[in-house]
Amino acid sequence: MRSRLTMAAVLALIPASALATNGYFSHGYGTVNKGMAGAGSALSQDSIAAATNPAGMAFIGDRMDGGIEVFSPKRQYSVDGNPTQNDMFPLTPGTYESSRDAFAIPHFGFNRSLSENTAFGVSVFANGGMNTDYPGGNGGPFYGGRTSVNLEQLFIAPTWSWEFSDNQAIGISPVIAYQRFEAEGLQGFAAFSSDGSAVSNRGTDDAWGYGYQIGWQGEITDSLRGGVSWRNILKMDEFDKYRGLFAEQGDFDIPQMFNAGVAWSGIEDHWFLLDIQHIRYSEIDSVGNPLLPNLMTAPLGSDQGAGFGWDDMTIFKLGWQWQQTRNHAWRAGVSYGENPVSSEDVLLNILAPGIQEWHFTGGFTHNISNQLALSGMAFFSPKKEVSGPNPLATNQTVTLEMYQLGASASVGWSF
């Protein structure tokens, strides 16, 4: 069974790579949800709903959904200031672009009623975020030649939902997580590591993990709905091949997440949604530990080893849906969350510039028949820059820069 699950995860991830939006989490899951900037804790409309709020699966009926997103992040970093003789870890001045800028990310969902007020479904979704590939000219970013990292994550969420009273439901999803990682060109950090042989160029390593997500969704008034959900820390196997890179001997757990929202339908044929999402990156040492002073007080890979220094994120999401006709709906959304990377931690985040803040989205659904619907979505995340000193060189400044484009399409089948 484990080998079959591994093969299924690998096959699902073959087209999927980077998805660095709110840190390394997607701004939403599924074409419908993404079209409203990820707002949907209080209003679920397809079988990917468990990714946001498992309770929403109680209201979507018997259906199946599948789709794919084409995602393009444009990333680069710049170094200003020449190295000096006494610098501990200087970088070569110039501007360098990551060559990885086009990816395809699938999603899939299924839901079926078990009784008049219970349902069972499965939502499958993916994200990533630390995916960069810099050329090896001038020694590469860290004097290890071509430098790249690749983190991919897949989530499988079987979900049981129960409408315990009229328009009031709870849901629970045992979440199965799979992730894999690879790094090249980081040999320069071996001298800072507890295990210099397990920092870079070790090939792909993978890990399984588990956790759960619970939620409530229901009607507050005739025109107002509410929803909340919480996912605990997903405990993952360690990346043994990179135990000298990530804190706690290769540990890379997935942080806990909170979602809460309301949806108002006080204007005929319109929905207005407001969601708040909170992601606790700081609780995961390999992600939240700062570069300094940790790099000087504990080796990479140790319990207090340096990480990417990411702060927690709180994201505000506004969504709108207009049912123009019986068979056609339009959507739009905007979200904002302060980026998790501070100016003090730009050096290591050359590898993982998860710095985006704003997302602007639009989408639609067209019912081809009573059973079949086609949905589409596009989004734009404008350019964001973060600048700060290279803490291991005297007079150098590092600037991270990224903007993103993406579009997705999906098919929904009600039965």
Distance CA 133, CA 131 (A): 7
pLDDT at 51 over 80: yes
pLDDT tens digits for range 194-220: 999 999 999 999 999 999 999 999 999
Q: In this predicted structure, what is the pLDDT of residue 21?
A: 85
Higher pLDDT, 127 or 27: 27
354-366 exposure pattern, b = at least 16 Cβ within 10 A, e = fewer: bbbbbbebbbbbe
pLDDT at 36 over 50: yes
* pLDDT confidence tier of residue 9, bands split at 50, 70 and 90: very low
Q: In this predicted structure, what is the pLDDT of residue 126?
A: 92
Pick the CATH number of 2-414 from 1.20.1080.10, 3.30.390.10, 3.30.70.520, 2.40.160.60: 2.40.160.60
Distance CA 183, CA 147 (A): 8
Distance CA 110, CA 51 (A): 12
Q: What is the average per-residue pLDDT within 263-276?
A: 98
Q: In this predicted structure, what is the pLDDT of residue 8?
A: 44
pLDDT at 227 over 90: yes
4 contacts: CB under 8 Å, gap ≥ 6: none
pLDDT tens digits for range 127-175: 855 589 999 888 888 888 999 999 999 999 999 999 999 999 999 999 9
3-state secondary structure of 242: helix
pLDDT at 299 over 80: yes
Lowest-confidence segment of 126-140, 156-170, 242-256, 368-382 by average pLDDT: 126-140
Lowest-confidence segment of 3-12, 39-48, 291-300 by average pLDDT: 3-12
Identify the CA nearest to 69 among candidates 414, 405, 330: 405
Q: What is the average per-residue pLDDT within 50-67?
A: 98
Residue 121 and residue 113 in contact, taking contact as beta carbons nearer than 8 Å:
no
Q: Residue ranges per domain, the chain?
A: 2-414
Q: In this predicted structure, what is the pLDDT of residue 131?
A: 81
